[in-house]
C-alpha cells in the first residue's frame, strides 16, 4: 500500500483502532503526486539541451528522448506556423501561492480532535491546495496561476468505515460540507469546494486502502474503497485474482472514485463496467449508513447499489465495497493493426461486435490520434519496424492505403489460452476481410507500457502556452461517424474563424452492442489573457454536438459541475425531481458535495449562473 | 398479437387514437386463460377412464397419457400409504362465486368514460375475479373455494402510454388505487388488492402489445410492455432478432411484469437477466412521467432505470421499454446428462462456471425432481431409451451410479455454430471428467417442449387435495449444498412430525460467478379444514432457512406481500427509509399498489399484522 511501514505505536484513536495499523511516519498519497500537474512527481516531460528534443523522465529511466513529439507539437498542435521553439509558460512556484486561512470552527474541530489522531487532520497549505481540485484543464490552469479561491478548510484522512461515520455525523451536526476525495483524478469538477459559505472538509479516503477479504470460491473481495488501482491489483494478485478495472486514471484513482462516478476500464468489453463488478457496498450518509447484503444477483425489490453508483459524493461517502474478481488471466495478448481509414476500422469493429465472440479490448485511434500515438513513442519503434519501404509500398499500391488516413487499433485478448486462441482466430478473420494490416504484438506491448502517459504530455503542453481538454460520450453505431466528423469539423472551424491554432483527435475505447465510447482530445493555444474562455467555448461546443447526436453526457468521466448545464436536457425532469428528494432524504442539510451532479433550482431558473460558466480565470498570466 | 382482427371502426377515444388500431371484437387475454388455475383453458391434466391414468390435453393433442405420473403422485407426493386412487377436491363453479359489487365512484368513472372507450372499462364479475389474484398457491386455493374478498372495482385496459398517463392522473385526483396487471402470473401477491377502503383499479396492460420499432443496427427494440412472451418473440423474429428472455411464466407474463419484478429467463447465463436487457423505459407515476434517453451505457449520474426495476408497481406503471435484442441464434442445442449425485452435478457446474467459457443454460435437477421429471413425461421416452438394462448395468457397476441419487441436467448452447461448437467441446470435456453420462439431445428436446408445463401439474394436484408451492433464492457456492440439504430435511421433518404426507425437490436454474439460483418445489396434503396454515408455516420455514444461509429473499419471483415480513432482515433499514421517501415523492397519495414490497410502518412496529399472515382461508371446504 502507500503507507511506509516504518515505526508503529499502540496509541488508539477514537474509533478504537490501534494505531499500529497506521505507522507513525508515512507518506500520504497526496504528497507523492504533483500539486500542479498529473501523477507521479518523479515522472515528467522536459526539453533536452542543447538538442531541444522532448524527453520523458520516469522513476525507472531518465531523460528518454521522444524524437517525434516536438515536431508533431510544432506542426500540428501549435499550428505549424514555422516556429521552431515552443513558448514557455511555467507554473507558479508553490510558495508564491496565496490562499485564505482556514475558516474557524472550534466546536467542530474539538469534536473531531477527540476522535481522530492529530495526523488524520490536516490544514496546512500543501494539504489544502492539493485537495482543492481534480485534474481538469480548468483545475490545472487555476493551480498553475495560483488562483485558488475556495481551498477546503480541513483535510480528514479516515482509517475505517467507523471513522467515516463519526466524521459525517459530526459534519452534519455542525453544518460542515464534506467532499469525498479519492485519487483526485476527476476532470469534471467533482471534488472542488464551490463556495466559502460553510466550513468545508475534503475527506481523503486513501488511507482506507486495505483488502478486507478475498473469497476465491465466490470470486469476490471486500475492499476499503480508498485503495488506488495499482495497490488493489497488486494485493488481489497475491490471491491469484484480478478485478480487471483499468481506466486511464488507474494509477492515481481509487475504487471509491470509480464507484461514485460510474467508471469504466480499458477491458470493460470483457470484465464489464464498474457497476457490473460491484456486488454491494457501504455508504455513510448524514442520515445513516446504507448497507447491502453480499450475494449474487437477486430479484427482491429495487437494488439500492444503483442509487449510489454515479452519485458522485452528493448522497454520502462509500467506504467498503464487495467487488467481483476473476482469476488472473493466464494469457493476455494485445495486437496492433492498421486500417486504411477510420471508416474501415469502425466497420470492422461493428462486424466484430455483431458476432457473439468479442475481444477483451478494441481501441481504435482516428488518423490524427494515430499520428499523435506514433509521435509520442520513445523510439520510432513498431511503426518503423513494420512500415519499412517495402511494406509501405505494398500497403500503398496493393492495398490502397492513404497514409493520411491510416488508423491504429489495439486489440486485446485475455483469458484461458483456449478462449484467447478461439476469439483471436475469429476476430483476425474479420480483420483480414476488412483491410486491416497486422503490426504484431509490439504496438500492444507499447500501448500497455505507455497507456497512462497522455496526461504527462498534457502537462508539458500546458507548460508551453497551450491547453488540452477531452470530451467523451457513448454514441450509437448509426451516429458514430457523423458525430466524429461533425464534432471535429465544428471544433476546427470554431478556432479557425478566430485565427487560433487548434487540433483535435479521437479514439474509440469501449464497445457495446448498441454503440461505443467515442473520446475526443482537443488542444488549442491560450488566448492573450490566458483565461478560460476558449476552453469554456470549446467544451460547450463539443457537448452541444454530443447532445445533438444523442450521445451520453458522459461515458465514464461523470458530471461534477462541468456537465451540470446539460443535465436537464440529458435526463428527464422527473428524475431530477426524484434525485432532489433522494438528496433531501439522505442529506437534509445538503452537506454532501453540494452543487454537483444536478442543477440547483436557482441554476435551473437562471437565477444563478452555472458554476461551469462562473469558475473562470480572469486576466491572469499563465 | 392477442386481439382478433375482425372488424374495425374509426371512432376515436380520448387519447386521439383511432379505434381502428383496436378491433371492435376481440378476445382479451384474460378471457383465454383459466380463471381458477394456470394458463390456457384448452390445456389441462385429467384422469382417463377406465384406466385411471393421468393424461394431458392440449390444443394440439387430446388426452395424451402420462403413464408414470399417477404412480409417482400416489407413492411420493401423497405419502405412499397404499391408496390406489387420488382424492377429488374440485374447484367451485364460477357461477357459485359471490363477490361484493364494485364500489361507487361516479365522478371518477365519469372522467374515465369521457376519455376511454366503453370496452376499455370492465366491471363485470368475470373481469373482476380474473384480476383479483396472481397464480400463487394461496391465490388458487382462495379462487377455487370462492373466497374472493377484495376484487378490484374496475378493470381498465389502456391502449397507449398517453392513456396510462390519463388514467394515473385521474386516479390520483380521486384517490383511487391502481394496480398494474401484466400477465397475472405473479406468485408473491404483487397484483392483489389488499383492502376495500378505496376504489381500486386493476390496470390490465395486455392490449399494449405492440413492438413500436426494431433497430437491427443498434440491436434494440422499443416495445409496449403489455406484450406477452410468445407475441414478443414471434414479432421480434420477423426482424430476425430475439430478446432471449424465457422465464417459466413466458407464455402468460408480460415484458412490463418482467421489468417490475426483476425477472430472469432460462437462458440468463448468456443473455442476462431482465435488467441487463433493459436500456430504458417510460414510467407513469402520479407526479409525472419518468422518461429516459436511448443509448448504450453511460456514466453521467445515477441511472434512473434501476429505481423502477423491481418496484413492482409501487412507484408507477411502466408503459414502453427499449430493450436489447440479439440476432436469432442460428444454432440452439440442448443436451441431457445424468450425474451420479447432486453433489457431482454441482461440482461439475462450479468447475464450468470457474472457467471463461459458459453454456447458455445449465439446469440441474436434484434426485427427487429428476424422478418427477421422468414421471411426468408422456411416454417413458429418453430415460428408457438410454437406460436399457445394459446401460443401467454399465452405469451401476462400472460407474457406481446409485439410481436413488441420479440427477438429470439439461445443458444448452445457443449462438453461432462456431461459438456453440467451441463452448460445447469445452463443457463436455469437464462433464466427462465429472462422471456425467450423456443422454444426447432427446431430453433437451423434451425439456424445450415441456418447460412450461409444471403449473398444469400443480392444478391437477390441487384438484386432488394437495397443495404445491415453491421457494427460490440465489445462494453462494459455499452455501448451496448446505442450504439444499437443510431446507429439504427441515421441510420433511416439519410435516413428518405432524404426520402429514409431504414432498420436496429442487433444481438449479441460473448461474453466476458468485452463486446460483436454487429453486425448491414442495407439496403437502391439505389439512382437515382446507385452510392455508400448512402453506404459511412451510413458506415461513423455507424462507427462514434461505435467510439463514444468506440467500436472496428471491432470485426472480419478487416480493409482493408474500416476502414483505423478511424485507427488514434482507435489506438495510436505511434503504427502507429511502424507498419510503421515493414512494412519497412519486406517489404522495399512496395510490400505486399499496402495501407491497416494503413493510408499512404499522407492520414494522407490529401494530398491524403482515398480510402474509392475514390473508388466510378459514374453515372452507376445498
- From the CA of A199, how many Å to the nearest CA of chain B? 26
3-state secondary structure A350-387: HHHHCCCCCCCEEEEECHHHHHHHHHCCCCCHHHHHHC
Q: What is the structure's pLDDT at B9?
A: 40
Judged by average pLDDT, the poorest of A8-17, A387-396, A552-561, B566-575 is: A8-17
Known binding site: residues of A? 248-254, 261-264, 312-318, 458
Place of cell 493551480: A143
**pLDDT above 90 covers what percent of chain A?**
82
Decide: B377 and B383 in contact? Cβ < 8 Å.
Answer: yes
Question: Cα-flanking dihedrals φ and ψ of residue A229, to 5°?
Answer: -50, -55
Task: List Cα–Cα distances, B333 to A354, A432, B361, B377, B413, in angstroms.
Answer: 21, 30, 10, 20, 5
Q: What is the structure's pLDDT at B526?
A: 79
B509 is in an annotated binding site: no
Using pLDDT thresholds of 50, 70 and 90, give the confidence band for residue B517. very high
Q: Hey, of B220, B276, B301, which one would you mutate to test binding to chain A, going by the most A CBs within 10 A of its CB? A: B301
Decide: A436 and A339 in contact? Cβ < 8 Å.
Answer: yes
Decide: B504 and B572 in contact? Cβ < 8 Å.
Answer: no
Q: What is the structure's pLDDT at B384?
A: 57
In A, minimum Cα distance to B271 occurs at A356
Q: Considering CB atoms only, which of B299, B516, B559 is closest to A301? A: B559
Q: Hey, of A275, A296, A307, which one would you mutate to test binding to chain B, going by the most B CBs within 10 A of its CB? A: A296
Nearby residues of A553 by Cβ (< 8 Å), 6 or more positions away: A473, A543, A546, A547, A559, A563, A566, A567, A570, B298, B300, B301
Asked whether the beta carbons of residue A557 and residue B299 sit closer than 8 angstroms, the reply is yes
**pLDDT above 70 covers what percent of chain B?**
91
Per the prediction, chain B carries an average pLDDT of 91
Asked whether the beta carbons of residue A299 and residue B555 sit closer than 8 angstroms, the reply is yes
Asked whether the beta carbons of residue B279 and residue A567 sit closer than 8 angstroms, the reply is no
In B, minimum Cα distance to A571 occurs at B292
Give first-to-last CA distance, chain B, whole Å: 36
Judged by average pLDDT, the poorest of B86-90, B335-339, B478-482 is: B86-90
- Cβ-based contacts of B553 with chain A (< 8 Å): 298, 300-301
- Cβ-based contacts of B287 with chain A (< 8 Å): 574, 577
Is the model more confident about A41 or about B619? A41
In A, minimum Cα distance to B414 occurs at A356
Q: What is the structure's pLDDT at B20?
A: 42
Q: Residue B326 corresponds to which cell in the numbers above?
A: 440479439
Task: For chain B, say whether A230 makes contact (Cβ under 8 Å).
Answer: no
* Eight-state DSSP code of residue B219: T
- Cβ-based contacts of B290 with chain A (< 8 Å): 572, 574-575, 578
Known binding site for substrate: residues of A? 458
Per residue in B161-193, pLDDT (tens digit) is 999 999 999 999 999 999 999 999 999 999 999
Span B186-213, mean pLDDT?
97
Per residue in A199-255, pLDDT (tens digit) is 999 999 999 999 999 999 999 999 999 999 999 999 999 999 999 999 999 999 999
B313 is in an annotated binding site: yes
Asked whether the beta carbons of residue B581 and residue A579 sit closer than 8 angstroms, the reply is no
Judged by average pLDDT, the poorest of A563-567, B11-15, B544-548 is: B11-15
Q: What is the structure's pLDDT at A611?
A: 93
Asked whether the beta carbons of residue A571 and residue B292 sit closer than 8 angstroms, the reply is yes
* Eight-state DSSP code of residue A211: E
Span B33-48, mean pLDDT?
96
B312 is in an annotated binding site: yes
Per residue in B268-295, pLDDT (tens digit) is 999 999 999 999 999 999 999 999 789 9
Task: For chain A, say whether B220 makes contact (Cβ under 8 Å).
Answer: yes
Q: What is the structure's pLDDT at B292?
A: 79
Using pLDDT thresholds of 50, 70 and 90, give the confidence band for residue B387. low
Asked whether the beta carbons of residue A300 and residue B554 sit closer than 8 angstroms, the reply is yes
Task: For chain B, say whether A576 makes contact (Cβ under 8 Å).
Answer: no
Size (chain A), residues: 622
- Report the catalytic residues of A: 519
Gap between the Cα atoms of A190 and B572, Å rounded: 28
Decide: A145 and A37 in contact? Cβ < 8 Å.
Answer: no
Task: State yes or no: pLDDT of B21 exceeds 70.
Answer: no
The closest of B212, B170, B196, B211 to B317, measured between CA atoms, is: B170
Q: What is the structure's pLDDT at B104?
A: 96
Span A431-444, mean pLDDT?
94
Q: What is the structure's pLDDT at A593?
A: 98
Q: What is the structure's pLDDT at A621?
A: 45
Q: What is the structure's pLDDT at A27?
A: 85
Q: Considering CB atoms only, which of B302, B418, B476 is closest to A306? A: B302
SS3 B510: strand
The closest of A274, A257, A305 to B574, measured between CA atoms, is: A305
Radius of gyration of chain A (CA): 24
Which residues in A406-563 belong to E strands, given as ranges? 407-415, 437-440, 466-475, 502-512, 515-525
Span A272-284, mean pLDDT?
97
B41 is in an annotated binding site: no
Asked whether the beta carbons of residue A575 and residue B477 sit closer than 8 angstroms, the reply is no
Task: For chain B, say whether A196 makes contact (Cβ under 8 Å).
Answer: no
Q: What is the structure's pLDDT at A80?
A: 77
Per residue in B53-64, pLDDT (tens digit) is 999 999 999 999
Q: What is the structure's pLDDT at B533?
A: 84
- From the CA of B281, how many Å to the nearest CA of chain A? 12
Per residue in A247-256, pLDDT (tens digit) is 999 999 999 9
Using pLDDT thresholds of 50, 70 and 90, give the confidence band for residue B19. very low
417-476 in chain B: CB under 8 A from chain A: 418-419, 422, 426, 474-476
Per residue in A41-55, pLDDT (tens digit) is 999 999 998 888 999
In B, minimum Cα distance to A552 occurs at B298
Span A100-118, mean pLDDT?
97
Task: List Cα–Cα distances, B464 to A104, B46, B73, B458, in angstroms.
Answer: 79, 11, 10, 10
- Cβ-based contacts of B288 with chain A (< 8 Å): 573-574, 577
Q: What is the structure's pLDDT at A529?
A: 59
Task: List Cα–Cα distances, A325 to A73, A357, B423, in angstroms.
Answer: 41, 21, 22
Gap between the Cα atoms of B456 and B222, Å rounded: 32
Span A443-451, mean pLDDT?
92
Question: Cα-flanking dihedrals φ and ψ of residue A203, to 5°?
Answer: -100, 95
Gap between the Cα atoms of B251 and B269, Å rounded: 20
Q: What is the structure's pLDDT at A381?
A: 52
Selecting among B181, B401, B452, B519, the annotated active-site residue is: B519
Task: For chain B, say whether A360 makes contact (Cβ under 8 Å).
Answer: no
How many alpha carbons fall within 13 Å on the CB side of residue A527? Answer: 15
Is the model more confident about B400 or about A152? A152
Gap between the Cα atoms of A21 and A380, Å rounded: 48
- From the CA of B383, how many Å to the nearest CA of chain A? 34
Q: What is the structure's pLDDT at B246?
A: 98
Task: State yes or no: pLDDT of B499 exceeds 60.
Answer: yes
Task: List Cα–Cα distances, A450 to A43, A379, A559, B108, B592, in angstroms.
Answer: 12, 13, 27, 68, 55
In B, minimum Cα distance to A422 occurs at B422
* Eight-state DSSP code of residue A598: S
- Cβ-based contacts of B557 with chain A (< 8 Å): 299
Asked whether the beta carbons of residue B290 and residue A219 sit closer than 8 angstroms, the reply is no
Size of interface A-B (CB pairs under 8 A): 284
Residue A334 host element (H or E): strand A331-339
Task: List Cα–Cα distances, A373 to A73, A246, A412, A501, in angstroms.
Answer: 12, 19, 17, 20
Using pLDDT thresholds of 50, 70 and 90, give the confidence band for residue A383. low
Asked whether the beta carbons of residue A575 and residue B292 sit closer than 8 angstroms, the reply is yes
Which residues in B355-450 belong to E strands, given as ranges? 361-365, 407-415, 437-440
Task: State yes or no: pLDDT of B378 exceeds 90.
Answer: no
Q: Residue B250 corresponds to which cell in the numbers above?
A: 413466458
Task: State yes or no: pLDDT of A17 exceeds 60.
Answer: no
Domains annotated for chain B, with CATH where assigned, are 34-47+54-86+454-557 (3.40.462.40), 108-134+149-328 (3.30.465.10), 331-451 (3.40.462.40)
Using pLDDT thresholds of 50, 70 and 90, give the confidence band for residue B616. confident
Task: State yes or no: pLDDT of A377 exceeds 90.
Answer: no
Using pLDDT thresholds of 50, 70 and 90, give the confidence band for residue B307. very high
Nearby residues of B264 by Cβ (< 8 Å), 6 or more positions away: A297, A299, B247, B273, B274, B510, B517, B555, B556
Gap between the Cα atoms of A257 and A225, Å rounded: 8
Amino acid at each position: 500500500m502507500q503507507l511506509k511501514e516504518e515505526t508503529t505505536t499502540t496509541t488508539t484513536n477514537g474509533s478504537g483502532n490501534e494505531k499500529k495499523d497506521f505507522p507513525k511516519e508515512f507518506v500520504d498519497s497526496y504528497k507523492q503526486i504533483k500539486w500542479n500537474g498529473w501523477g507521479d512527481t518523479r515522472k515528467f516531460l522536459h526539453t533536452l539541451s542543447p538538442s531541444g528534443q522532448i524527453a520523458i523522465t520516469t522513476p525507472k529511466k531518465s531523460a528518454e528522448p521522444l524524437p517525434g513529439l516536438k515536431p508533431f507539437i510544432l506542426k500540428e498542435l501549435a499550428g505549424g506556423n514555422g516556429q521552431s521553439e515552443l513558448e514557455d509558460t511555467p507554473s507558479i512556484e508553490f510558495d508564491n501561492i496565496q490562499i485564505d486561512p482556514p475558516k474557524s470552527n472550534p466546536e467542530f474541530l474539538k469534536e473531531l480532535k477527540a476522535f481522530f489522531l492529530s495526523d488524520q487532520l490536516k490544514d496546512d497549505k500543501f494539504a489544502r491546495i492539493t485537495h482543492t481540485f481534480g485534474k481538469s484543464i480548468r483545475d490545472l490552469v487555476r493551480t498553475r496561476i495560483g488562483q485558488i479561491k475556495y481551498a477546503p478548510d480541513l483535510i480528514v484522512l479516515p482509517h475505517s468505515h467507523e471513522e467515516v461515520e463519526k466524521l459525517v455525523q459530526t459534519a452534519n451536526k455542525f453544518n460542515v460540507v464534506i467532499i469525498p476525495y479519492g485519487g483526485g483524478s476527476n476532470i469534471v469538477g467533482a471534488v472542488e469546494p464551490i463556495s466559502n459559505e460553510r466550513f468545508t472538509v475534503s475527506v481523503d479516503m486513501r488511507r482506507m486502502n486495505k483488502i478486507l477479504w478475498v473469497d476465491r470460491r465466490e470470486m469476490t473481495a471486500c475492499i476499503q474503497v480508498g485503495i488506488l488501482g495499482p495497490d488493489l491489483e497488486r494485493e488481489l494478485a497475491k490471491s491469484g485474482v484480478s478485478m480487471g478495472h483499468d481506466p486511464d486514471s488507474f494509477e492515481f484513482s481509487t475504487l471509491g472514485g470509480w464507484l461514485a462516478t460510474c467508471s469504466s476500464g480499458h477491458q470493460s468489453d470483457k470484465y464489464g463496467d464498474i457497476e457490473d463488478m460491484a456486488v454491494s457496498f457501504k455508504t455513510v450518509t448524514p442520515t445513516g449508513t446504507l448497507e447491502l447484503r453480499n450475494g449474487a444477483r437477486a430479484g427482491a425489490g429495487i437494488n439500492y447499489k444503483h442509487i449510489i453508483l454515479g452519485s458522485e459524493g452528493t448522497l454520502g461517502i462509500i467506504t467498503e465495497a464487495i467487488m467481483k474478481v476473476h482469476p488472473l488471466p493466464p494469457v493476455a495478448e494485445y495486437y496492433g493493426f492498421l486500417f486504411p481509414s477510420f471508416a474501415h476500422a469502425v466497420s470492422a469493429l461493428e462486424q466484430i461486435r455483431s458476432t457473439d465472440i468479442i475481444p477483451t479490448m478494441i481501441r481504435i485511434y482516428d488518423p490524427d490520434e494515430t499520428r499523435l500515438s506514433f509521435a509520442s513513442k520513445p523510439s520510432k519503434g513498431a511503426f518503423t519496424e513494420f512500415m519499412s519501404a517495402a511494406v509501405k509500398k505494398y500497403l500503398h499500391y496493393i492495398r490502397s492505403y492513404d497514409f493520411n488516413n491510416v488508423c491504429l487499433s489495439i486489440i486485446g485478448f485475455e483469458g484461458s489460452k483456449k478462449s484467447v486462441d478461439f476469439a483471436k482466430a475469429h476476430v483476425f478473420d474479420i480483420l483480414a476481410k476488412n483491410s486491416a494490416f497486422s503490426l504484431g504484438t509490439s504496438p500492444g506491448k507499447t500501448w500497455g507500457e505507455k497507456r497512462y502517459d497522455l496526461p504527462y504530455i498534457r502537462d508539458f503542453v500546458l507548460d508551453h502556452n497551450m491547453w488540452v481538454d477531452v470530451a467523451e460520450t457513448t454514441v450509437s453505431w448509426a451516429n458514430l461517424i457523423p458525430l466524429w466528423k461533425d464534432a471535429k469539423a465544428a471544433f476546427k472551424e470554431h478556432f479557425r474563424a478566430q485565427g487560433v491554432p487548434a487540433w483535435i483527435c479521437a479514439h474509440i475505447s469501449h464497445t457495446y452492442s448498441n454503440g461505443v465510447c467515442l473520446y475526443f482530445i482537443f488542444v488549442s493555444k491560450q488566448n492573450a489573457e490566458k483565461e478560460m474562455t476558449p476552453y469554456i467555448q470549446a467544451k460547450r461546443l463539443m457537448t452541444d454536438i454530443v447532445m445533438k447526436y444523442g450521445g451520453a453526457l458522459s461515458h465514464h468521466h461523470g458530471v461534477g459541475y462541468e456537465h451540470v448545464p446539460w443535465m436537464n436536457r440529458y435526463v428527464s425532469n422527473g428524475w431530477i425531481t426524484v434525485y432532489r428528494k433522494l438528496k433531501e432524504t439522505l442529506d437534509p442539510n445538503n452537506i454532501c458535495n453540494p452543487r454537483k451532479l444536478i442543477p440547483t433550482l436557482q441554476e435551473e431558473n437562471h437565477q444563478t449562473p452555472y458554476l461551469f460558466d462562473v469558475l473562470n480565470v480572469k486576466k491572469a498570466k499563465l
